[in-house]
Amino acid sequence: MRSIVKENTALERDHTTNAILNSDAAGYKAALMRKKHHKKSAEQINELKNEVSELKDLVKRLIVKIDK
Report the sign of the C-alpha dihedral through residues 60, 62, 63, 65, in that order: positive
Going by C-beta distance under 8 Å and a sequence separation of 6 or more, which residues neighbour residue 10? 22, 23, 24, 27
Q: Is the pLDDT of residue 46 over 80?
A: yes
Q: What is the mean pLDDT of residues 4-29?
A: 88
Average of per-residue pLDDT values in the chain: 92
What is the per-residue pLDDT for 26?
Answer: 92
Whether the predicted model's global pTM rises above the 0.85 cut: no
Q: How confident is the model at residue 8 (pLDDT cuts 50, 70, 90)?
A: confident
Q: What is the largest CA-CA distance in the chain?
A: 80
Rounded Cα gap, residues 5 and 1, in angstroms: 13
Phi, psi of 11 (to 5 degrees): -105, 140
Identify the residue with better confidence: 14 or 58: 58
Q: What is the mean pLDDT of residues 64-68?
A: 91
